[in-house]
């Protein structure tokens, strides 16, 4: 298997068919606390990926979870990073992204890292990297997820981010009955951010 990525928490290898994500040890943490954290996060990510299949959501399919070695094996999602192709059809892709986020939130899944680097365009937009994901019914958590999407769009696609986020919100509203409540909470989340900057 070939190493294809490494983040702060894990290293990822793939043979083109299967992806293996390994959460490595952190020497600055107490060994027992580190092991428990990595085990908890590995199990949680595996549960979220399993749920994706249950709800028919386009993302990786879980093959195996090994919480002794802190590894998750999943299917390799192929296609272009949305980060690289969003500009080719920003309105259509952004609205699709909004619908997909709505489906996650309707099933109480918080992605936790909604960037276009974690989205792959194949026959449709697939979401990947559920390492920070968790289950929650809270409006606050869903609003923060949307806020992170907005920040990511502004950072990576600043020339088109406003139209992209507007379209994403339209897609979100189309697909999620509770959208207005979450969007009201989003206003509160953003106002807190503005107040901190003052």
Please write down the HEC assignment for all residues of the chain. Answer: CEEEEECCCEEEEECCCEEEEEECCCCCCCHHHHHHHHHHHHHHHHHHHHHHHHCCCCCCCEEEEECCCCEEEEECCCCEEHHHHHHHCHHHHHHHHHHHHHHHHHCCEECCCCCHHHEEECCCEEECCCCCCEECCCHHHHHHHHHHHHHHHHHHCCCCHHHHHHHHHHHHHHHCCCHHHHHHHHHHHHHHHHHHHC
Per-residue pLDDT, 76: 96
The pair of three-digit structure tokens given for residue 164, joined into one six-digit string: 């992209």
Q: How far is CA 129 from CA 42, 122, 183, 195, 196, in A?
A: 12, 16, 24, 31, 30
Q: 92 and 47 in one domain?
A: no
pLDDT for residue 197 is more than 60 = no
Bigger pLDDT: 8 vs 132:
132
How high is the mean pLDDT of the chain? 95
d(CA 177, CA 159): 30
* Domains of the chain: total: 2
Strands, sheet with 125-127, edge to edge from the N-terminal-most edge strand: 80-81, 119-121, 125-127
Range in 25-29, 133-137, 142-146, 161-165 the model is least confident about: 25-29
pLDDT for residue 37 is more than 80 = yes
Q: 97 and 181 in one domain?
A: yes
d(CA 162, CA 154): 8
pLDDT digits (tens, 9 = 90+) for 153-169: 999 999 999 999 999 99
Whichever domain contains 42, its CATH number is 3.30.200.20
Per-residue pLDDT, 189: 94
d(CA 116, CA 46): 21
Per-residue pLDDT, 195: 53
Bigger pLDDT: 30 vs 8:
30
Per-residue pLDDT, 8: 82
The pair of three-digit structure tokens given for residue 72, joined into one six-digit string: 């998750």
Per-residue pLDDT, 196: 55
Domain range enclosing 42? 2-75
Q: 70 and 86 in one domain?
A: no
pLDDT for residue 116 is more than 80 = yes
Q: 117 and 29 in one domain?
A: no
The verdict on whether 129 is a catalytic residue reads no
Per-residue pLDDT, 158: 93
Per-residue pLDDT, 192: 83
The pLDDT of 20-42, averaged and rounded, is 93
Q: 101 and 53 in one domain?
A: no
Q: 133 and 179 in one domain?
A: yes
Q: How far is CA 154 from CA 83, 91, 116, in A?
A: 12, 15, 11
* Catalytic site residue from 34, 66, 80, 113: 113
Per-residue pLDDT, 7: 83
pLDDT for residue 15 is more than 60 = yes
pLDDT digits (tens, 9 = 90+) for 88-109: 999 999 999 999 999 999 999 9
Q: What is the CA radius of gyration of the chain?
A: 17
């Amino acid at each position: 298997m070939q190493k294809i990525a490494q983040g702060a928490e894990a290293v990822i290898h793939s043979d083109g068919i299967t992806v293996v994500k390994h959460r490595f040890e952190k020497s600055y943490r107490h060994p027992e606390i580190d092991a428990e954290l990595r085990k908890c996060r590995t199990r949680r990510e595996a549960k979220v990926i399993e749920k994706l299949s249950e709800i028919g959501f386009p993302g990786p399919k879980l093959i195996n979870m090994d919480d002794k070695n802190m590894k998750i094996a999943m299917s390799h999602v192929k296609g272009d990073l949305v980060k690289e192709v969003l500009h080719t059809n920003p309105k259509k892709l952004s609205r699709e992204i909004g619908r997909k986020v709505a489906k996650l939130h309707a099933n109480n899944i918080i992605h936790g890292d909604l960037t276009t680097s974690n989205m792959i365009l194949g026959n449709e937009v697939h979401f990947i990297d559920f390492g920070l994901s968790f289950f929650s019914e809270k409006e606050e958590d869903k609003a923060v997820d949307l806020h992170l999407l907005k920040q990511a769009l502004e950072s990576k696609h600043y020339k088109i981010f406003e139209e992209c986020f507007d379209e994403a919100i339209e897609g979100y509203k189309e697909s999620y009955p509770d959208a207005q409540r979450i969007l009201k909470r989003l206003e509160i989340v953003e106002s807190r951010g503005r107040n901190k900057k003052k």
